[in-house]
Amino acid sequence: MSAVPLPPTLRRLVKLPGEGNHSLAFDRGFDCYDDRWGIPAGDNKTFLEDFRKRHSRPRDYGPFIARRRATLEAAGARPVPLFLQTRLVIGLGLPHPTETALLLDRMTGCPYIPGSSIKGALRQAARLAAAGELEPEDPDVRSFWSQYLDLLFGPELDGEKTPAKGHLIVYDAFPEEWPSLEIDVLTPHYQPYYSDDADEPSEPPADWHDPNPVAFLTVAAGAKLTFWLGCRRLSGEDSLDRGQVLDRASHLLETALDWFGLGGKTSSGYGLFSAAPPPAPEKQSDPGPESPGKDRRRESTPTPPPESRPSHQEIPWPGVTLELWKGKPTIFRGKKQMAQAKKGELPEKLEKLLKKKSKLQVDAWVTEGVQGLRIVRVEGWES
């Protein structure tokens, strides 16, 4: 059976392409049920793949973004455009027949990031900055967020402080252009252990349990999203102005989304953003026709799982000099290029050797971050 559990008069609202609403089509348009309203194995991915192909840009999306920009600019909000470096997972745990969801704007059907999620990530980043755990080498950053954390985000509700509205306003973030969707797969193991309804599972996790692949939708890397920040009127007693607040908050947002990411599965490298677009994937050259007697199997490098992929492309810097500069391991390349690592990011043995010898010839790999080039790997220093 291929039916949608909706009255016939409402089924047109979930038909794509056409006059249907993308968000309703995803949330209410699942049509892969069997005769007993069950879902056959594998049909979850079939539905997601079909929806991904039909998720086309509506005619009024461009005007919607233009009107939204004009309205927010008139309200004095500050835009922070950032590029998605890895796939974005947003709304994965929302209820859905496939058991994996994607948060779509009800009006446009476009994936978006709620302002509440962005503000939560910003607040956590502000806590770390105030504690000196984010940008610890800049005492000015630590001083600012220590002093104004509660003013901008509202006080923590610990029973002693009166609830109050923070001055910082964070709006929803939308892609500037209609984004592409991609299907990814979770592969949870030990299904009998995790699905046991008893308070104490009767069957412990074991290596012979079969993995259970679960497909889910993601926003493809490369999308440009504009984050908008605003600030309520400050009193003269606050000793700071609106422009200063937006400058600090914009910089904190870029740092937080570059280092920690946003959305689901960030510990596996999803949801990372940067001010620069990600590098375009290298095009593979056509090997041409094969000779009749040639083995048609080709050696290929397997794609690493998301957990092991680097969040940014690593750029090799061979034969460079590593030294300590202002307490940080630093590489100068020419007159304009510099890459750094924070204290403790490189192997402890390497940092101790660097203190003794002052300078070392190494082969390094760096990535582009919001705060400049970062050293991610160093080799050849032991020889």
Torsion angle, alpha carbons of 170, 121, 373, 177, to 10 = -50
Residues 131 and 189 in one domain: yes
Q: Which band of pLDDT confidence, cut at 50, 70 and 90, is reported for residue 124?
A: very high
Residues 115 and 150 in one domain: yes
Mean pLDDT of 338-355: 83
How far is 267 from 282, CA to CA, in rounded Å?
A: 26
| DSSP per residue, 313-359 | --EEEEEEEEEEETTEEEEEETTTEEEE--TTSS-HHHHHHHHHHSE
The per-residue pLDDT for 238 is 64
Residue 92 lies in a domain: yes
Residues 240 and 258 in one domain: yes
Residue 292 lies in a domain: no
Residues 87 and 45 in one domain: no
Using the predicted structure, report yes or no on whether residue 4 has a pLDDT greater than 90: no
The per-residue pLDDT for 45 is 84
Contacts of 10 (CB under 8 A, 6+ apart): none
Residues 147 and 232 in one domain: yes
Q: Which band of pLDDT confidence, cut at 50, 70 and 90, is reported for residue 309?
A: very low
Amino acid identity, residue 49? Answer: E
Residues 71 and 140 in one domain: yes
Contacts of 67 (CB under 8 A, 6+ apart): none
Using the predicted structure, report yes or no on whether residue 227 has a pLDDT greater than 60: yes
Amino acid identity, residue 257? Answer: L
Q: Which band of pLDDT confidence, cut at 50, 70 and 90, is reported for residue 203?
A: low
Q: Which range, of 8-17, 81-90, 258-267, 334-343, averages the lowest pLDDT?
A: 8-17
Joined tokens for residue 177? 């252009």
Which of 14-28, 119-133, 190-204 has the highest average model confidence (pLDDT)? 119-133
Q: Which band of pLDDT confidence, cut at 50, 70 and 90, is reported for residue 326?
A: confident
Q: How many domains are there within the chain?
A: 3
How crowded is the C-beta side of 281, counted as CA atoms within 13 Å?
A: 8
Whole-prediction pTM value? 0.69
Q: Which range, of 107-116, 142-151, 208-217, 357-366, averages the lowest pLDDT?
A: 208-217
Residues 369 and 248 in one domain: no
The per-residue pLDDT for 234 is 79
Residues 45 and 89 in one domain: no
Task: Verify cis geometry, omega within 30 degrees of 0, for the bond prior to 163.
Answer: no
Residues 5 and 137 in one domain: no
Residues 103 and 213 in one domain: yes
The per-residue pLDDT for 80 is 95
Higher pLDDT, 380 or 4: 380
Q: Which band of pLDDT confidence, cut at 50, 70 and 90, is reported for residue 283?
A: low
The per-residue pLDDT for 87 is 94
Q: Which band of pLDDT confidence, cut at 50, 70 and 90, is reported for residue 371?
A: low
Q: Are strands 174-175 and 328-333 parallel, antiparallel or unpaired?
A: unpaired
Q: Which band of pLDDT confidence, cut at 50, 70 and 90, is reported for residue 135?
A: confident
Domain boundary among 278, 304, 338: 278
Joined tokens for residue 293? 């007697």
Residue 226 lies in a domain: yes
Residues 48 and 95 in one domain: no
Q: What's the mean pLDDT when you consider all of the chain? A: 81
Contacts of 91 (CB under 8 A, 6+ apart): 101, 102, 103, 104
Joined tokens for residue 261? 């990411």
| DSSP per residue, 88-150 | B--STTS--TTS----B-TTT--B-B-HHHHHHHHHHHHHHHHTT-SSTT-HHHHHHHHHHHH
Are the C-beta atoms of 378 and 321 separated by less than 8 Å? no
The per-residue pLDDT for 257 is 93
Residue 173 lies in a domain: yes
Residues 66 and 214 in one domain: yes
- Residue range of the domain that includes 366: 313-379
Residue 308 lies in a domain: no
Joined tokens for residue 257? 């989304």
Residue 307 lies in a domain: no
The per-residue pLDDT for 16 is 67
How many Cβ atoms are within 10 Å of 310's Cβ, its own excluded? Answer: 14
Residue 325 lies in a domain: yes
The per-residue pLDDT for 75 is 93
Q: Which range, of 16-20, 188-192, 295-299, averages the lowest pLDDT?
A: 295-299
Torsion angle, alpha carbons of 373, 374, 380, 382, to 10 = 140
Q: Which range, of 36-45, 238-247, 293-302, 357-366, averages the lowest pLDDT?
A: 293-302
CB burial of residue 8 (10 Å; 0-12, 13-18, 19+): exposed
Using the predicted structure, report yes or no on whether residue 18 has a pLDDT greater than 70: no
Write the CA distances from 250 to 82, 177, 210, 216, integer angstroms. 11, 22, 46, 31
The per-residue pLDDT for 302 is 43
Residue 289 lies in a domain: no
Domain boundary among 229, 253, 278: 278
Domain boundary among 15, 38, 56: 56
How far is 2 from 12, CA to CA, in rounded Å?
A: 15
Using the predicted structure, report yes or no on whether residue 19 has a pLDDT greater than 80: no
| DSSP per residue, 17-29 | TTT--HHHHHHH-
